[in-house]
Structure 1
Amino acid sequence: MSTQKFATKALHAGHDVSQNGGTRAVPIYQSTAYVFDDSDDAAGRFNLSVPGFIYTRLNNPTNDVLEQRLTALEGGLAAVVTASGASAIATTLLTLLRAGDHIVASNSLYGGTYNLLSVTLPRHGVTTTFVDPSDPANFAKAAQENTRAIFIESLGNPKLDVLDIEGIAKEAKAHKVPLIVDNTVATPSLLNPIEYGANIVIHSLTKYINGNGTSLGGVIIDAGTFDWTNGKFPEFTEPSPGYHGLVYSEALEAAAFIAKVRIEGLRDYGSALSPFNAFQIIQGLETLEVRIKKHSENALELATWLQDQKEVTWVNYPGLESSKYKKLADKYLPKGQSGIVTFGVKGGYESAKKLVDSTKVFSLLANIGDTKSLIIHPASTTHQQLSDEAQESTGVTKDLIRLSVGIENIEDLKHDLKEAFATIDSKALVS
């Protein structure tokens, strides 16, 4: 399987057709628990000496196929799927960190992640310093004695800044902490952060990987490359009171982190993915490479067109020649820059709200990565809970419109926006 190309892995990885009655499609194992052969078999599964399924909060055959497939596509060691992208991030950090620990994070994060790091985790004794990610050295400057992770998005949402993952990974390695990369917007079809030094990769499967807006899901993929015995992570080198004295680094070696995510993280935080949702996400994953190519093509053409519209003050898309991220995009995203486009509209806040109220093909909703085109005004919705200063640091301005460009005919998308532009008050266009 390792020699096969992306599209083939997306269709076949993790599914042995000689099993499960010879099914060509991955079956849905809609079961909460699994029968043990006998008490010794049960004991063996619980102490990890015997492979097998126990309870769907921990593992499930349908979920297992999805985990193996995503691991293959990202080039990792192993993966755990979760109930949502947000739960993937929370489970990762809560499994990894303890009270008193510190994170250095990019300031250009999705609003929900920013809130988790800035508001929720401090209540649990975990603090975060947000930095301008344009210079990898900024992560090193913000590192403290108690820093235990660096967290970034490979392609920021909605700032669309392409980060120098390789440079940031070097800083993380120098400080002996794992680099965690949310790769949701780029997808494994366009970018594999592990190739550039990332230790843990996270996705919201709800977005491009599922692709049709029907199912929530998340995944945590462990590269298996981080040294958990470097002295900074006693949770992995000392006997675990939560799992009968197991020493993760000794028993699981390279898989220590992802094993802890499953047998303690999923067990204690309970963010299990529904097998039905796993099945739905597998269907989407099978066509990811084809879809993300079309998303990227449409987004680039639409961004180019928007630059010439009189109602538009600026356009941000990494694939544009005018983008300040074009050089990094050429390095990290040569196959396409995904389907998110942001732009500013004349008249600011009110004009932006008027525009999103007026589209007919673009749907006004809080999601990205659907095959259908989506539109939103982040300042009044997804980033509303952030202060003006925090909004600005994440790249959200009052006039910003975020488009998740779908795979419709590009001319229909242009026409829809053109008609929506016509609803903006003419006074706003000359202000």
Structure 2
Amino acid sequence: MSTAGIHAGWTRADTHRALTPPIYASSAYAQTSHSSLRALFERRADGFAYSRSGNPTTEVLEQRITALEGGIGAIAVASGQAATTIALCALAAPGGHVVASSRLYGGTTELLDDTLADLGVTTTVADPWDLEAWEAAFTPHTRAAIVESIANPGAQLLDLDALTAIAHAHDVPVIVDSTLASPALYRPGDHGADVVVHSATKYLCGHGTTIAGLIVDTGRFDPRRCPERWERLTTRNRRFGVTFADEYARGGSGLLAYARAKYVTDLGATLPATSAQQILVGIETLDLRLRKISTDATTLAGRLAAAGEVAEVHHPSLPGRPDRHLVARDFPRGTSGVFSIDLHGGEDAAAAFCDALELWSLAVNLGDARSLVCHPASTTHSHLTPAQREACGVSEGTVRLSVGLEDLEDLWGDLSRGLDAARAVLPEARAVPA
């Protein structure tokens, strides 16, 4: 993992044999002849014509994440939300049906309930810990299922092998948002996933500088097995003059070719070359960062579980969690640095806790080198219904933590300050002893 994170996708092929991939800051690329430019637009040749559809720096990032995830191809896009949107649109829009985990990031739930619903996409939500409910959610019209490898914000793990087996029995591909795990901790394709999406803004970048998203085809999905389900892939496309599923016969991904040609280009969800280069730099230290972050998060979760001000800690290492057995089986390298706590006293206690922190920053990002906290019910999950928040494990007293790279004892000292502040706002009748 560490070796691929530094070397995959780059062969020092530029004129000066640069050790790191250069930033190709060019909107367009000159061709040698009229016929060569025409061949690019007719999809008879590979290359770059205009950076809205592809860029040499961005291509290195795509090749690197493909290697890290063990896939057959990838697309880099403008954000993690763009990656999820494009993956779902390419498989289910318009008018398809999606089975969605009840434990998804709030923005993904809103996307399914609102924007994709406008395109005729319907959604059935199912608890991924309830295999019978998961099985019952599929219909003959289901075109995709979507889950998170580590759920945001409660850090719930799932038995992806079991979930994908059920989906594949219905001939439905599974999209896994693996932002919180990253390939340093978990590769969804090894457990049956067909498509992997990342908000590269988070751990892949690692320093809170860049918005980016990635879509990876693991090579498991082939629309030719059920051609009537994905006619846009398996029949000749009138606009582009090709059958995208033919890419599979050449070892490529028709899904990605279709997604890039139609959605990335039409929607302009382009990742700038400078952003791609910053993500590449972040990936070089991904493995090292996740080792420390995961270890420190587990330690902090254990200490918080013993704090009287905390009603519950949502971390897979703790006793009583139904997913605890998956830590050793599927996540032996760690479960990342994101987890949540429920404080006695609801939002008042959560607000006092967050406001008292000095080292932890109050921000809605995660996966940064800096430790971050936020209150999901009033931010990332604020537009969900109370029932949706409850299904995600978000209450008025929930605080999400994203552990960074600071010294462990400094982080704990600051959390202790926050716990003191949370205790101070509790009515004396309900106060919990320090």
Instruction: Give the distance between the partners of 1:374 and 1:339, measured in 2 at CA.
Output: 10
The two structures, once aligned, show a CA RMSD in angstroms of 1.3
Deviates more, 1:287-296 or 1:228-237: 228-237
Shift of 1:48: 2.3
| Alpha-carbon contact 1:182-1:203 (below 8 Å) kept | yes
Match of 2:426? 427
Match of 1:328? 326
Shift of 1:202: 0.3
Instruction: Write the deviation string for residues 404-427 of structure 1: whole angstroms up to 9, x where unpaired.
Output: 011111100111011122223253
Identity of aligned residues (%): 38
Which residues of 2 match residues 7-406 of structure 1 at below 5 A? 7-229=2-224, 230=226, 231-244=228-241, 246-253=242-249, 254-406=252-404
Instruction: Write the deviation string for residues 139-160 of structure 1: whole angstroms up to 9, x where unpaired.
Output: 2201112110011001110121
Instruction: Give the distance between the partners of 2:370 and 2:342, measured in 1 at CA.
Output: 22
Q: TM-score, normalised by structure 1?
A: 0.96
- Per the alignment, in what secondary structure is the counterpart of residue 201 of structure 2? coil
Q: TM-score, normalised by structure 2?
A: 0.95
| Alpha-carbon contact 2:373-2:399 (below 8 Å) kept | yes
Instruction: Give the distance between the partners of 1:357 and 1:112, measured in 2 at CA.
Output: 25
| Alpha-carbon contact 1:91-1:269 (below 8 Å) kept | no
Instruction: Write the deviation string for residues 317-361 of structure 1: whole angstroms up to 9, x where unpaired.
Output: 112344332101222211101001211111112111111111011
| Alpha-carbon contact 1:347-1:429 (below 8 Å) kept | no
- Per the alignment, in what secondary structure is the counterpart of residue 413 of structure 2? helix
Instruction: Write the deviation string for residues 381-428 of structure 1: whole angstroms up to 9, x where unpaired.
Output: 111111111110111111111100111111001110111222232534
Shift of 1:429: 6.7
| Alpha-carbon contact 1:346-1:429 (below 8 Å) kept | no
Instruction: Give the distance between the partners of 1:134 and 1:322, measured in 2 at CA.
Output: 14
- Per the alignment, in what secondary structure is the counterpart of residue 357 of structure 1? helix
How many matched pairs?
A: 425
- Per the alignment, in what secondary structure is the counterpart of residue 223 of structure 2? coil
Instruction: Write the deviation string for residues 47-71 of structure 1: whole angstroms up to 9, x where unpaired.
Output: 2222211111111000000000000
After the TM superposition, which segments of 4 or more aligned residues of structure 1 sit over 3 Å from their partners? 251-254, 426-430
Match of 1:3? none
| Alpha-carbon contact 2:349-2:426 (below 8 Å) kept | no
Shift of 1:96: 2.2
Decide whether aligned partners of structure 1 residues 430 and 99 sit closer, same or farther in structure 2, where only a CA change above 3 A counts.
same
- Per the alignment, in what secondary structure is the counterpart of residue 125 of structure 2? strand
Instruction: Write the deviation string for residues 23-49 of structure 1: whole angstroms up to 9, x where unpaired.
Output: 011100011111111011111122222
Instruction: Give the distance between the partners of 1:321 and 1:44, measured in 2 at CA.
Output: 60
| Alpha-carbon contact 1:136-1:164 (below 8 Å) kept | no
| Alpha-carbon contact 1:346-1:428 (below 8 Å) kept | no
- Per the alignment, in what secondary structure is the counterpart of residue 21 of structure 1? coil
Q: 2:3 is matched by which residue type in structure 1?
A: T
Decide whether aligned partners of structure 1 residues 45 and 410 sit closer, same or farther in structure 2, where only a CA change above 3 A counts.
same
- Per the alignment, in what secondary structure is the counterpart of residue 356 of structure 2? coil
| Alpha-carbon contact 1:356-1:375 (below 8 Å) kept | yes
Decide whether aligned partners of structure 1 residues 429 and 180 sit closer, same or farther in structure 2, where only a CA change above 3 A counts.
farther
Instruction: Give the distance between the partners of 1:64 and 1:120, measured in 2 at CA.
Output: 29
Decide whether aligned partners of structure 1 residues 427 and 94 sit closer, same or farther in structure 2, where only a CA change above 3 A counts.
closer
Instruction: Give the distance between the partners of 1:364 and 1:190, measured in 2 at CA.
Output: 26
